[in-house]
Structure formats: structure tokens, C-alpha cells
Amino acid sequence: MIEAIRARVAEKLKELDGVIGLRRSPEGVAPYLFHTEEELAELVLEPRYPMSSVVRLLQKRHPAARFGVVARGCDVRALVEMAKRNQVDPERLYIIGFTCTAEEAEACHCADPAPNVTGWPQAEVIGTPVAAGSPNPMVAEYAQMPRAERWAFWQQQFKKCIKCYGCRNICPVCFCESCALEDPLWVEPGVMAPPFPMYHMIKAMHMSNRCVACRQCELTCPAHIPLTVLYDLIRQDVENLMGYVPGADLEALPPVPLTLADAPIDLDVE
Amino acid sequence: MVASHVLTGKERGAKIIVIDPREIQMSRLADIYLRPWPGTDVAWLNGIMNVIINEGLADTAFVEERTEGFDELRQVVMEYPPEKVEQIAGIPADGLRAAARMYAQTKPAAILYAMGITQHTTGTDNVKTCANLAMLTGNVGVPGSGVNPLRGQNNVQGACDLGGLPNVYPGYQVVTIPDVKAKYEAAWGVEGMSGKLGLTVTEMIEAADKGDVRAIYVMGENPMLSDPDLNHARHCLEALDFLVVQDIFMTETAALADVVLPGASYLEKDGTFTNTDRRIQRVRKAVEAPGQAKADWEIICDLARAMGAPGFEFASPAAVMEEVVVTTPIYGGVSYDRLEAVEGLQWPVPTADHPGTPYLHKGKFSRGVGKFNPVQYQAAAELPDEEYPLILTTGRMMFHFHTGTMTRRTEKLEQEAPEPYVEIHPDDAQRIGLNGGKRVRVSSRRGAIEVAVRVTSTIRPGVVFIPFHYVEGPANALTHAALDPIAGIPEFKVCAVRVEPV
């Protein structure tokens, strides 16, 4: 797999201004903008890292450049959501997608372990798609709980939070320059654990129609809060009630208005 | 980092007991939370052992095979029945019994502590008592057990490992042992090295006042905010002939210095950090240091060369490590090649093929059998009286680190906690007549500060808490420089204060 990807990246480097991927150096693995074929010996696929945030920053810094990116299924879903919100320019991004392994899909409980590049202007996918991972058993367990018990469950979980912002910082579809979670109007500063439900529910609402189920927030959380239980259920609600699946289709508009300025919403509430 | 492991344990069924004068975040997740008076740790720890012995919960096999001095321990702790401990420490007798049973009956059980145990005039006694409790229940030398002192900073352990203490060479080799001295004289090609114990930091400050110490070189420390009794500490530092401060920012202490040497931050240097788990880990330079700033080892080597000292011709931190391992048995098998592994190496690592030591005292203590050191409770050096009726306990909070040299320059953290404050119980607030006032004056025999007030029932009546991070309301203007007679650590956790509305 890695050799096939390196070969394709080498080929695309001839026409692009660089390809974004993960590079292993003696200092560790970090996102990197590859320029030359010689550097590709250091291109790696692990550990997972949200590439959409790196694409966003590099595209903003180089407004005319055409880059490529080496991306997993969840990376592509995040790129799709970022593109809808004008954070990533699809016309200037070539996606070299690759399929996750069956083990990875199972470890992530991933429903969609292969990149879906339908509608992306220029893209390709390397590898053979594997079956979806089994669903997260914690979600089913949680869904059995009565409402009061659910409330108690989250209260207990969020007591562990140390307000490190890791879940937000790692999120591949999080990009606001000024964040409501840092605004004293919404979240009282200096309180530890941060006030529940405000801190966590603001984030959950903001993610409600863009969470692409990459699980990065949960993997990052030093307090081991099972965030994907919350986000999986929100995704289910958004799909069942609004027919929207984040990351699935570049053309589908999210059900929550993207901006208030040009939002076709009717404020007449009857 | 440690709490993260504790929480994982809890989700796998582990029990948590928190004993702290303040209700902390962890106590809200605990199975048992007990609130002692500050400075009564020996009493309630002895009380726990009293219950364990009287209810037959001690690990008698471990005590017989691996320890000595049990009879002496038994004799002392029998003087601490829970009802008597309740009088001293303010912990309900039944709560203490429940904690004793849970700790003794859950195997393995780990004791985790930090400065709340050590920063007392009885700090050494407190630590010995924790060790007694762990040995009494067989909780030593087994994974998941032990007495685990949590370090307040990422490389305190590493600094001590390499001889940053007044009594030892690298690897805890005591300076008063002639063979050790001879070994280092030979290794370093010098003669006449001192075989005497040096001074601890707090003793140096005192000695500066007397003129016995005339120059101090401070690296990455800010005693003008972190030392007890700051007004006196300032007086002592000003009495020096010469003060050098090496730091990454202009600290309160650097402001007093004759020479300031700009150091490099953790992002700007190569080397190793060793934290509480004795794990030697690589730190790697990510960016160049700005301006004239240099890594500490480079500054020290430059200084040595300027003084004409041979033996400081190192090319890199790896070269320094190559010298360290030759004379330091616990680091004997360490090399930068081996440290490439993400998990680093946990000392002792005596040889190049030794895998390291994840936990100590397996099967045998370093002195052979473990010795119980029974200790009687002694009250703190300064207790409340009519003039200063409240106990002040100082400490940290989540959003700032130590003297705030880094975190108070960090906008987002400063937004979380921008000003100094005192935590006080609603009963005390009412008695003092704060009447909803926002600021108070807190005074002790050493000084007075004005800070914001936070009325909270997370602290018991009679006790107030102030974090020590703030120069504009420095808790250490109030604290007492009474020292533990063995370790020389100051009693930051107990002194007497008065709180008044302003």
C-alpha cells in the first residue's frame, strides 16, 4: 500500500506545488508538505492525523498553490465538510485517497472505511475497500438507558474534563477563528471541570451537522470521555430527522444555515 | 497525566479514596472523600493503620518476610484510635474506618501524593508514615501499588538524578563517602573536591542573609514568588554580592539579578526529561532559540570554559549522557540510541542489555528488609490563635503553572484565571462580615496581601486557600519559612492568617 501511494505521489508531484502527508523523521511523525520524490521515503500513513486542518492552513497561506493530499476516508469526509464552508478549495486540491485496513476499521468502529471522492473535482483512491467495522457497543448500551440515567451518565463523564481543548483542537471540521468555548459569555472562565452542559453541549451543537465520525476527539481526550457515543447519536438524529450525512456528498447543503447573512431561513415562528 | 490513569482504573472497577483539606476535581469522582485539617497527616495515617491492625487487615506474610520493626509500629499506631484521630484531624471516625478497610482490602493499592504531604515541617515524617502504611498492607514491589510521589514539574526527577541536590553526585551517590569522591575526582581529573554536604535552597537564602553565601546562580527557578516569606527572601537575595539568573523570561527574581542569562525553552533544546516514573525520555529541538538564548548545558559549558576549566568540551547533550553513564550506575545502560524508543527507559538501567525497571523493590528493598519508621504526630509550626484565627494552606490551580513565568504570559490561560484569590467557607465569610465584598486583606506575621474572595464550601470552616502563582497577590508573602528538620522543605501548607474586608 505505502509503495503504491509513494509512486502516485511521486507522479503527481510533477504537476502539483506539493503534496501534504505525514512524514516520519527522527523527531517523530508530523504533517509535511512534500516537494521532491527523494523525500517520499519518509512518507507514512500512521498515526492518524486530521489532514483537513493542515490543508486549510496551507491553502490559506498559499492562495494560488495547487496541492495534493494523502487522505483516509475520514479525512476525505472532513475535506468535504470544510469545502462546503469555504475553508478548503476543492479546485486547488488533488486527493490521493487510500483505504483503511480491516483492523483499522474495526478499531474505529468505522461505518465507511474507504474514501468517497464522488464529486471531488480531481481525486483517486488506492487500495481495496474493506467491510465496515462493527458498531460501537457503547452506543447501543447507552441507547438502552432511560433519560434520567443518560443525564447522570454525562454529568459523571464530564466531571472528568480538564478543559484542555484537545477535542476541539484535533477536530478536522473545527475552524472558527474565535471560539464560543473561549467566550466568557457562554462558558464561565476559571471553572474546573468546565460547566456542564454549556461547554460540551455548545461543541456538540456546533458539530451536529458536520461531525464525520473520525473519533479523533475521543482518542485525544486525556480524561477518556467517550465522546463518540454522544456524536454517533447526534449523527443518527441528523440523518433520521434531516436526511443529512456529513461528508457523504459535496453537493448536499447542511441543514443548519452556514451563515446568517445569506441564509434562506424563515424567522416567522408560529 | 497521572489522573488520566487513575480515571482509566476507575472505569475498570478501581476504587478511589481522596483525602485532602480541599474538595478537588478528583474528590468528586472518588468513592470516599475525607477532609482533614491541614498538617495532621501523621495522625490520620496512623489512624488508618490502627484500624488495619485492629481489624486484622494487615498483610502479615509480607510484614513477616520483608519488614522489620512491626512491634514498634504497632505500639505507636495503637495510640491513634479513630475517635482520637477525629479530634486531631477532623475526619469522622467512621469515614476513617471505611477508608482503612477499602485501602487494605483492595489489592493492589497505590498511594499517590504531591506537595500536600511534603511541604510541612513534618514532611519527612509524613512520607515515612505513607511508607509504613504501604508496607503494612504489602503494597510495595508489586505493579499498581507503592508510594508514588508525584512531581510538580516535568524534570524535577531528572535534575535530582543528575546530582542537582546538595548531598549527592549523579545517581544519588552520597558526597560524604570517600570512595565516591575519589571516583569523581578520577573521572573528572580534579583533586580536592568537597566531601561535605551542601545547602538546600532554603538554607542558601538564609545563609545569604548571614553573609555565608555571597553569590547565587539561579537556573529556571523564581524564588521571588515560590519561596516562603517573600519579604525576607527579597532581603536575603539583596544581601548577595552577586546574583545570576538564567531563565526564558524576565522573572521577578531575574529583575533582582546582576546578570541575566537567556535560556532555551523545551521547544528549543535537545536532551532528556525524567519525570515521576523515573522514565528517561528524549526532548527534541523543534525550533531555534531566539536571540542570544542558548540551552542550559551550552551556557554552563561556555561559563566553565571562560573560567578556564577543562572537561566541558561536549558537542551535544548525547555526549554529556555518554559521560554520565560511565560514573552513574543507575544510568549505566542508557544511551541516546536506546532512548529512540517512544517509551524511553526507566532507571535503574545498570547495563546496556538491561530492560529498565518499571517498578522498584520487587522481592527486596535496597536495604534488604523494609524498616517501619513509626512516627508520632506533631502539630504544624504555626497554629491559629486569636490574632490570626485561620489556617492558610497554599497550592496550585489547573490554569497556571508554578510562578506563572510561562502560563501568565499565555493569553487563554490568563483569561481563565486572571487574578489572585482566596477561597473561604461561607461560615467564615459571614463571621468576618464580608457582606458580599469582592476583595479582602489577608495578613500573617510576615506580611499582608489584598486578593479577590471566592466563597466556597469546597474548603472547611477555619481554613483558607490561596494559589501562589500571582505576583500581584503573592501567597508566599504570608507563608512561614519553618523547615522540615531533615529535608529542609518549608511549611507552605500551614500558617496562621487573618482575613478582613477592604
pLDDT tens-digit map of B25-58: 899 999 999 999 999 999 999 999 999 999 999 9
Q: What is the pLDDT of residue A263?
A: 47
Question: What is the rounded CA–CA span in Å between residue A24 and residue A44?
Answer: 6
Q: Report yes or no: B417 at the A interface, CB cutoff 8 Å.
A: yes
Total domains in the fold of chain A: 2
Does B1 sit within 8 Å of A222, measured CB to CB? yes
- On chain A, the residues whose CB falls within 8 A of the CB of B286 are 27
Task: Looking at the structure, tell me whether residues B118 and B179 fall in a common domain.
Answer: no
Does B8 sit within 8 Å of A160, measured CB to CB? no
pLDDT tens-digit map of B410-438: 999 999 999 999 999 999 999 998 877 78
pLDDT tens-digit map of B219-238: 999 999 999 999 999 999 99
Provide mean pLDDT across the span B49-70. Answer: 97
Does B398 sit within 8 Å of A163, measured CB to CB? yes
Question: What is the rounded CA–CA span in Å between residue A90 and residue A83?
Answer: 6
- The answer to whether residues B185 and B195 touch, using CB atoms and an 8 Å cutoff, is no
Domain boundary (B94, B117, B150) is at: B150
Instruction: Please indicate, yes or no, if residue B191 is contained in any of the structural domains.
Output: yes
- The answer to whether residues A8 and A96 touch, using CB atoms and an 8 Å cutoff, is yes
Domain boundary (B133, B150, B167) is at: B150
Task: Looking at the structure, tell me whether residues A119 and A46 fall in a common domain.
Answer: yes
Q: Report yes or no: B415 at the A interface, CB cutoff 8 Å.
A: yes
Task: Looking at the structure, tell me whether residues B145 and B167 fall in a common domain.
Answer: no
Task: Looking at the structure, tell me whether residues B335 and B483 fall in a common domain.
Answer: no
Res B160 pLDDT > 50:
yes
Angle at B70 between CA B66 and CA B71, to 5 degrees: 150
Total domains in the fold of chain B: 3
pLDDT tens-digit map of B345-381: 999 999 999 999 999 999 999 899 999 999 999 999 9
pLDDT tens-digit map of A71-112: 999 999 999 999 999 999 999 999 999 999 999 999 999 999
Task: Looking at the structure, tell me whether residues B323 and B180 fall in a common domain.
Answer: yes
Q: What is the pLDDT of residue A264?
A: 45
Q: What is the pLDDT of residue A4?
A: 97
Q: Which of B126, B134, B132 is nearest to B489 (CA)?
A: B126
Instruction: Please indicate, yes or no, if residue B356 is contained in any of the structural domains.
Output: no
- B29, B398, B417: residue with CB nearest A162: B398
Domain boundary (B313, B346, B379) is at: B346
- The answer to whether residues B283 and B273 touch, using CB atoms and an 8 Å cutoff, is yes
Please tell me the distance in Å from A267's CA to the nearest CA on chain B. Answer: 35
Mean pLDDT of chain B: 95
Task: Looking at the structure, tell me whether residues A13 and A117 fall in a common domain.
Answer: yes
Q: Residue A156: closest CA among chain B residues belongs to which residue? A: B29
Q: Report yes or no: B210 at the A interface, CB cutoff 8 Å.
A: no
Question: What is the rounded CA–CA span in Å between residue B432 and residue B502?
Answer: 11
Task: Looking at the structure, tell me whether residues A164 and A97 fall in a common domain.
Answer: no
Helix boundaries (H) for A108-262: 137-143, 147-158, 166-170, 198-207, 216-220, 227-242
Task: Looking at the structure, tell me whether residues A70 and A42 fall in a common domain.
Answer: yes
Residue-level length of chain A: 270
Instruction: Please indicate, yes or no, if residue B334 is contained in any of the structural domains.
Output: yes
Residue A43, strand partner residues: A23
Instruction: Please indicate, yes or no, if residue A255 is contained in any of the structural domains.
Output: no
Res A267 pLDDT > 70:
no
Domain boundary (A79, A97, A126) is at: A126
Task: Looking at the structure, tell me whether residues A95 and A145 fall in a common domain.
Answer: no
Instruction: Please indicate, yes or no, if residue B382 is contained in any of the structural domains.
Output: no
The parent domain of residue A111 ranges over 2-126
Instruction: Please indicate, yes or no, if residue A206 is contained in any of the structural domains.
Output: yes
Q: Residue A221: closest CA among chain B residues belongs to which residue? A: B4
pLDDT tens-digit map of B239-258: 999 999 999 999 999 999 99
- B4, B25, B286: residue with CB nearest A193: B25
Choose from A181, A191, A196, A224 for mutation: most chain B CBs within 10 A: A224
Q: Residue B282: closest CA among chain A residues belongs to which residue? A: A27
Give me the CATH number covering residue B103: 3.40.228.10
Instruction: Please indicate, yes or no, if residue A262 is contained in any of the structural domains.
Output: no
- On chain B, the residues whose CB falls within 8 A of the CB of A222 are 1, 4
Give me the CATH number covering residue B486: 2.40.40.20
B213: left (phi over 0), alpha (psi -120 to 50) or beta: beta
Residue-wise DSSP of B240-309: -SEEEEEESS--TTGGG-SEEEEB--GGG--EEEE-TT-EEEEE---SPPPTT-B-HHHHHHHHHHHTT-
Q: What is the pLDDT of residue A261?
A: 57
- On chain A, the residues whose CB falls within 8 A of the CB of B399 are 190, 192
Task: Looking at the structure, tell me whether residues B327 and B412 fall in a common domain.
Answer: no
Residue B455, strand partner residues: B424
Res A262 pLDDT > 60:
no
- With both helix axes pointing from N to C terminus, report the angle between B317-327 and B178-188 in degrees, rounded to the nearest 10: 140
Instruction: Please indicate, yes or no, if residue A265 is contained in any of the structural domains.
Output: no
Q: What is the pLDDT of residue A258?
A: 58
Instruction: Please indicate, yes or no, if residue B465 is contained in any of the structural domains.
Output: yes
Q: Which of B129, B134, B145, B138 is nearest to B62 (CA)?
A: B138
Instruction: Tell me which residues of chain A, numbers 150 to 189, contact chain B at a CB-CB cutoff of 8 Å.
Output: 156, 159-160, 162-163, 182, 184, 189
Is A166 buried (19+), middle (13-18) or exposed (0-12) by CB count in 10 A?
middle
Q: Residue B287: closest CA among chain A residues belongs to which residue? A: A27
Q: Report yes or no: B416 at the A interface, CB cutoff 8 Å.
A: yes
Give me the CATH number covering residue B231: 3.40.50.740
Please tell me the distance in Å from A164's CA to the nearest CA on chain B. Answer: 10
Does B286 sit within 8 Å of A159, measured CB to CB? no
Q: Tell me the pLDDT band of A178, cut-offs 50, 70 and 90.
A: confident
Q: Tell me the pLDDT band of A268, cut-offs 50, 70 and 90.
A: very low
Task: Looking at the structure, tell me whether residues B160 and B217 fall in a common domain.
Answer: yes
Instruction: Please indicate, yes or no, if residue B211 is contained in any of the structural domains.
Output: yes
Q: What is the pLDDT of residue B436?
A: 72
Task: Looking at the structure, tell me whether residues A105 and A147 fall in a common domain.
Answer: no
- On chain B, the residues whose CB falls within 8 A of the CB of A163 are 398, 416
- A184, A190, A192: residue with CB nearest B25: A192
Residue B113, strand partner residues: B149
Residue-wise DSSP of B132-152: HHHHHTT-SSSTT-SEEEPPS
- The answer to whether residues A21 and A43 touch, using CB atoms and an 8 Å cutoff, is yes
Q: Report yes or no: A222 at the B interface, CB cutoff 8 Å.
A: yes
Helix boundaries (H) for A62-136: 73-84, 102-107
Q: What is the pLDDT of residue B434?
A: 85
- With both helix axes pointing from N to C terminus, report the angle between A73-84 and A51-61 in degrees, rounded to the nearest 10: 40
pLDDT tens-digit map of A182-219: 999 899 999 889 988 889 999 998 888 999 999 999 99
Does A182 sit within 8 Å of B286, measured CB to CB? no
Task: Looking at the structure, tell me whether residues B288 and B193 fall in a common domain.
Answer: yes
Strand A43-44 relative to strand A19-25, pairing: antiparallel
Please tell me the distance in Å from B416's CA to the nearest CA on chain A. Answer: 4
Residue carrying C-alpha cell 455548545: A202
pLDDT tens-digit map of B177-197: 999 999 999 999 999 999 999
C-alpha cell recorded at residue B30:
472518588
Q: Tell me the pLDDT band of A34, cut-offs 50, 70 and 90.
A: very high
pLDDT tens-digit map of A126-158: 999 999 999 999 999 998 999 999 999 999 899
The parent domain of residue B87 ranges over 2-150
- The answer to whether residues B365 and B66 touch, using CB atoms and an 8 Å cutoff, is yes
Q: Report yes or no: B159 at the A interface, CB cutoff 8 Å.
A: no
Question: How many Å is the Cα radius of gyration of chain B?
Answer: 24
Q: What is the pLDDT of residue A257?
A: 67
Task: Looking at the structure, tell me whether residues B207 and B322 fall in a common domain.
Answer: yes
- A27, A160, A189: residue with CB nearest B415: A189
Does A159 sit within 8 Å of B29, measured CB to CB? yes
- With both helix axes pointing from N to C terminus, report the angle between B70-77 and B41-54 in degrees, rounded to the nearest 10: 110
Task: Looking at the structure, tell me whether residues B267 and B394 fall in a common domain.
Answer: no
Measured CA to CA in angstroms, residue B158 lies from B11, B277, B278, B280, B358 at distances of: 32, 10, 8, 8, 16
**Which of the pair, A191 or B461, is modelled with greater confidence?**
B461
- On chain B, the residues whose CB falls within 8 A of the CB of A162 are 3, 25, 398
pLDDT tens-digit map of B372-413: 999 999 999 999 999 999 999 999 999 999 999 999 999 999
Res A269 pLDDT > 60:
no
- On chain A, the residues whose CB falls within 8 A of the CB of B1 are 222
Q: Report yes or no: A27 at the B interface, CB cutoff 8 Å.
A: yes
Q: What is the pLDDT of residue A256?
A: 78
C-alpha cell recorded at residue B196:
561535605
Does B417 sit within 8 Å of A162, measured CB to CB? no
Q: What is the pLDDT of residue A71?
A: 98
Instruction: Please indicate, yes or no, if residue B30 is contained in any of the structural domains.
Output: yes
Task: Looking at the structure, tell me whether residues B220 and B163 fall in a common domain.
Answer: yes
Task: Looking at the structure, tell me whether residues A155 and A108 fall in a common domain.
Answer: no
Q: In angstroms, how far is CA A66 from the centroid of its own chain?
A: 22
Task: Looking at the structure, tell me whether residues B116 and B165 fall in a common domain.
Answer: no
pLDDT tens-digit map of B250-295: 999 999 999 999 999 999 999 999 999 999 999 999 899 999 999 9
Q: Tell me the pLDDT band of B341, cut-offs 50, 70 and 90.
A: confident
Q: What is the CB neighbour count within 10 angstroms for residue B489?
A: 19
Does A160 sit within 8 Å of B7, measured CB to CB? yes
Q: Which of B295, B344, B341 is nearest to B317 (CA)?
A: B295
Report which DSSP code applies to B178: H
Q: Tell me the pLDDT band of A266, cut-offs 50, 70 and 90.
A: very low
Q: In angstroms, how far is CA B456 from the centroid of its own chain?
A: 26
Does B286 sit within 8 Å of A223, measured CB to CB? no
Task: Looking at the structure, tell me whether residues A96 and A6 fall in a common domain.
Answer: yes
Among residues of chain B, what percentage have pLDDT more than 90?
93
Q: What is the pLDDT of residue B438?
A: 87
Task: Looking at the structure, tell me whether residues B327 and B395 fall in a common domain.
Answer: no
Instruction: Please indicate, yes or no, if residue B143 is contained in any of the structural domains.
Output: yes
Measured CA to CA in angstroms, residue A134 lies from A107, A110, A140, A215 at distances of: 9, 7, 12, 14
